[in-house]
Amino acid sequence: MGAAMINPDFAISDEDVESFREHGFLKLKGIFSQELVEHMRSLSGSQVTSPTDNYGAGFSKLKYDIGNDDPTILSLMGDPAFSAAMKQLTGAQLFFTQGLGFELEKNKSTGFPWHVGTQSFGFQRREDLGFTIWTPLTEIRAEEQAGGMKYVSKNVFSGEFVYQHINMLPGFMRNEIAAGKEIGYDDFHKLKNNLLNSPEIKPLLDFSAVEDDFEPGDALIFDKYVLHRSVPLGEGPISSRLAYALRFSSIDARWDESRVEALAFPRVTFDYNVGSDFNEVVGKADGDRVYESPHFDGTREARTLA
Ligand SMILES: O=C(O)CCC(=O)C(=O)O
Ligand SMILES: [Fe+2]
């Protein structure tokens, strides 16, 4: 693929930086070239598969680890204009960890309810920085067919506590099971999701949320504390909505053994399988620097943002 990754006239203003730091998210208008969008579309379209397990059942298709080592995606990381924009926004030294694809089917898929990236940032400590660039690969008209996302400013309500909540679950459930209670997937699902999606809290978050329109080439950057959810694709001309997400982590992030173990519990106990071993393979001992993991030998430089 040629040089054009991000559009030559894309620029981050001081107001953008200020807004991103305050709210934790920012719409990146016209950031990606149509060639790159097309590449993301073909990556996601060919590799995104139907969820085989309880995890991701709200999507017609969902897959982790798409394009993790793809040369075009890695060349985006090497694009000086892209690194400069990311540095300006986040103030951090980042590396690309993982790509994911999501597909919503019209009038059918619910996607993810309100959540934060406890899975995608499950390898690192709660306080380590993490960012997502989410790129819808069809146009999104929030007031018409929708199919985008809703998100809440972290200044209004930060989702950092959700990273604590998820780690409380295994110990509690093991204790319940030891006490003779029957705990199944439904109980786990409620325990995990009702924190943010109960009949009382969901309308509150919906009321406080932002929902943008997107053209192909637009993307959304958000940090790992931003509460967000999928918005179903309603009636209209588009039959399905694909989106490609890029995850980034700080080069200082450290592998968190207890977090990785906590995520393993529902996977083995309730068939809650995300279909990715990423969190397990990027560290070995608690406190290891993820960036130094042998898993990235050979691609470390290519996935690092200057
Ligand atoms: O595409 C979607 O509907 C969900 C995306 C999402 O939750 C994410 O990228 O973290
Ligand atoms: Fe998410």
The domain spans of the chain are: 14-296
Top CATH class of 14-296 equals mainly beta
Ligand 1 pocket: which of 63, 106, 115, 132 to mutate (most atoms <8 Å of CB)?
132
* pLDDT at site 52: 63
Atom of ligand 1 nearest to the CA of 230: 3
SS3 per-residue string spanning 107-144: CCCCCCCCECCCCCCCCECCCCCEEEEEEECCCECCCC
> From the CB of residue 203, how many other CB atoms can be counted at a distance below 10 Å?
10
Residues 82-98 have pLDDT tens digits of 999 999 999 999 999 99
Ligand 1 pocket: which of 105, 134, 212 to mutate (most atoms <8 Å of CB)?
134
Residues 191-239 have pLDDT tens digits of 999 999 999 999 999 999 999 999 999 999 999 999 999 999 999 999 9
Residues 245-270 have pLDDT tens digits of 999 999 999 999 999 999 999 988 88
Ligand 1 pocket: which of 48, 112, 116, 119 to mutate (most atoms <8 Å of CB)?
112
Residues 275-298 have pLDDT tens digits of 899 999 999 999 999 999 999 999
Residue nearest to atom 2 of ligand 1 (CA): 230
Amino acid at 47: Q
Q: Does ligand 1 come within 6 angstroms of the Cβ of 149?
A: yes
Cα(283) to ligand 2 centroid in Å equals 22
